[in-house]
Chains A and B, each alone.
Chain A
Amino acid sequence: MSAAARRAARTAVAGQTGNLRRALEVWQARAGRDIGERAYRAYMWVLAVLILCAPMARMLWLGLTSDAGIDLLESVRSGHGIIWGVGAVWLAAFGVGSLRGPAMRPPFLVYALGGGPASRTQVFGGPVVRSLATVSGVVGAVVLAGYSALCAAGLASVSEVIVAAVAGVFVGMIAGTLWLAGQVSQGWMRVAAIAVPAVTLVVVAVWLRFGPVVVTGGGDTLSAGQGIPKLLGIVPVTVVGALAALCLGVIPVLLNQLSLPKVLAQSQRWQSAVRSTQLLDLSQSAATYQGAPRWFRKVPAVSRSGGLGLVFFRRSAVGLVRAPGRTMWGLLCLLAAAALIGLSLSTPAGWVVGAATALLTFVGVGPFTDGLRHAASVALSGTMYGISDEKLVALHLFFPLAVILLVLGVGALCVGLIVGTGNPVTTVIAAAITGIIAVLARVNNALKGFMPARLYVPVITPMGDLSALNRVLWAIDAVLLVAVGGIAVALLPTTPVPLLAVFAVLLLVGARRWRAR
C-alpha cells in the first residue's frame, strides 16, 4: 500500500471514529439530565458506597484477617486452590461470553452502529476495554485483599503482595479476553472449548491427588517437601504476563469476528434481564438466560403405559434432555457444589464455603426443577390437571429430587475420595441435606406469586423509607435462605440447631404460601 493510500485509510478511520463519537454523544444526551439530577445521582452513589460498600469492605477485611480467614487463605495459597481458582475463572469467563459477552451496547446502538461503516473494533472497542479493565481490576483487587491480609498477619512480604496483585491483573486480562472469545465462539467450537479444559482440570485433579507431582514455576520455587508449585515465582508471573500481552493483541482479531445478529440478541436479552431485575422480578430475569428446549422433540414425554408416577418421572426426564446445554450447566454447578461440600465441613472458615456451596446447588437445581415450577405456577393459577395441586407437586418432585441427590451424593463421595476431604459418610449426608434445602427453596420461590402490595407501603424510620429494603429482601429471600442453609450445613458437625431452624423457616414459609395460593 502506498503512503497516500495509507494516509487516506487513516483519514477514513478517523472520520468514522469521529462520527461514532458524535453518535454516542447524541445517545448519551437523550436522557437530558440536568446538573441537579447528576448531582443527586452522584450523592446517591456516594451514600451507597459509604453505607453499603464501606461496611461490607470492612467486614470482609475483618473476616480475612481473622484466624479462620488467615487459615483459609493460607490453605488456598499452599494447596492447589489458586490453580483451581484461576482455571475456574477462565472457564467461567469463556462460558459466560456465550450468554453475555463484553462487546455490548444497548440494542439500538448495536443495530444502528453495528450496521454502519465503522468496524467492529471501533463500535465495540470501548465497552470491551472497559469490561477488560473491570475484570482485571476485580481479580487484582481480590488477590490484593487476600495477600494484604496474609501480609498483615506476617505471612507474606510487601513485594509478594505487589507481585500477587500484578499477577491477578494479568489473570483478569486473560479472563477478559476469554470472555470475548466465548462471545465470538459458536457451536461445537464452544462446546469443545469448555469441555476440553473442564476434562483437563478433572484429570489434573486426579493426577495431583495420585500422581508423582513435581511441577515448579522455576528453579528455586519448589515448596520443600510438598511438591506444590509456588505460583509467585518470576517464571510463572512472567508467563502469565506474556499471555496477557498476547491476549491484548488478539482482541482486535476477535472483535472483527463478532457476529452482529448474535451481539444484538445478547444485547436484547441483557436489556430484558436488567429491566426484570430493576422490577425485582429475579425469576423472570434468570429465565431470560435459560436455554430454550429444542432437542428430542419427537421423543414422547408421556408414556403410553404405567402409573402416574412413571408418567411424571418420564416427563421430567425427557424435559431435561430437551435443553442439554442447560442440563449440563446444572450438572456442572451441582458437581462443583459436590466438590465444595467436603471442604465446607473440613475448613476452618467452612461457613463461607458452605454458603457458596448451597448457592451453587440452588443454581444447579434450576434446570431439574422446571416441572416443579410449572406445577407451582399451575397451583397458583387454576385447574389444569385432573389431580390435586398437592399430588401434582409431589409427582413433579420425585425425579428432580432423585437426580439431584444422586449427583450431589455421588459427586461429593468421589471428590471426597479423590481429594481426601472429610468423612465420606458425613459429606454425602451434608450433600443430601444441601440438595433438599435447595429444592425446597425452589418450591417456595415458585409459590411466591406477585409481590404483595403491602411491601410498597412506606416504612418510615429515622434513616428514611426502608420499604425498598423489604422489597429487596422479599425478592431474594430464597437465595438468602439457601445461603443460610449452606452455613447451617457447614456448622452441622458442631450443632444441628441452625439447620433445624432453617428447615423450620423453609417449611413455614412454604406452608404459608401454599395456603395463600
Chain B
Amino acid sequence: MSWFEKLLPSRIRTDGTKSKHTVPEGLWSKCPVCQTVLYRAEIDRNLHVCPKCSHHMRIRARQRLEAFLDPSPRTEIGAELSPVDRLKFRDSKKYKDRLAQAQKATGEKDGLIVMRGYLHGLPLVACAFDFEFMAGSMGSVVGERFVRGVNTAIDHHIPFVCFSASGGARMQEALFSLMQMAKTSAALNRLNQKGLPFISVLTDPTTGGVSASLAMLGDINVAEPNALIGFAGPRVIEQTVRETLPEGFQRSEFLLKHGVVDMIIDRREMRQRLVSLLAMMTRQPSPLVALLPDQSGQDTPPTDYAPDTERDSE
C-alpha cells in the first residue's frame, strides 16, 4: 500500500484488486482437489473437469448449456423475466442490492437459464441453474422460467432436461420461494401426463428446496461424480445429530448406493449418454450409430467435447 492510500480513511479505501474468489481471473488456475496448476483455456475446453484427476468443478449455467446443446439453432426461454422485491426484504443488506450485485457479477438476470435446442439432432428443452447467482437459489423468476421451459417442451412435444446446482429456496423471497417448489413440481406432473421424458441431472451442490422438488422428480435421476446432494445441508445435520458425518455422506456415490439416483455420468460423456437415453425413451433409432467415430465424419461429435479424456488420463 502506498503512503497516499494509507492516508485515506478506511471506508474510502478500496481493495479492488484483491478478489475474494479462490480461482483468480488470470490465465492459470488450480484444481482444488489435486492442486495441479491448469491453463484456464484448457479447463474451459475440458468443461471444467480437471484433466488430471477428473474432479468436476462448478460450471456456469450458460457455459454448460452451450457445451451441452448442439451449436445451433438455440432459443432462450424466459430471458425477458427479471426479479422484483415485493416484500422489501432486508437482512444485513437489502434484497434489491443483493440482486443488483449478483446481476452485475454474473451478467445474468437470475439464476436459471432455459434453452430450446438440439442434442445430436434430437430436439429438447434444457435448463441449468447458475450457482454463481445467489447460490443458485430458487426464487420466482427461476420457478417461472422453469415452468415456461416445461410448457415449451409440452407445446413441441419434446423432452426436458434440467441441470440443478442450488442451495435451495431463496430466503429473501420468503414464502414466494417455497411456492416455487409447488409450482415446478405441478408443471413436471403435466409433462409426465403428456408422456414426455424428464431427465434430472443433479450437480454439485443440489440441496434444500430444489432437491426436495424438481431435482428429484426425473424419470431418470443422474448425478455428476462426487456432487453434494441432499435435503438438509451437512452442517445442519451435524448440529441435529451431534456427531461427525461419515466420509462420502450425501455424495453422488452415496445416493447411488441408497437408490436415489439411477447413475453417475462424467460431464464429458453427458451429451452422448443423455441422447442415448432420450432416444430410447422417445422410441427413436439409436443416435449412437451416427456417432461412431469411424463413420464418414459428418456426424462425429464436436471436437471440443472430448468424451474420451477420462479414459486417456487414467
- Chain A bound to chain B: no
A residues bordering B, Cβ < 8 Å? none
B residues bordering A, Cβ < 8 Å? none
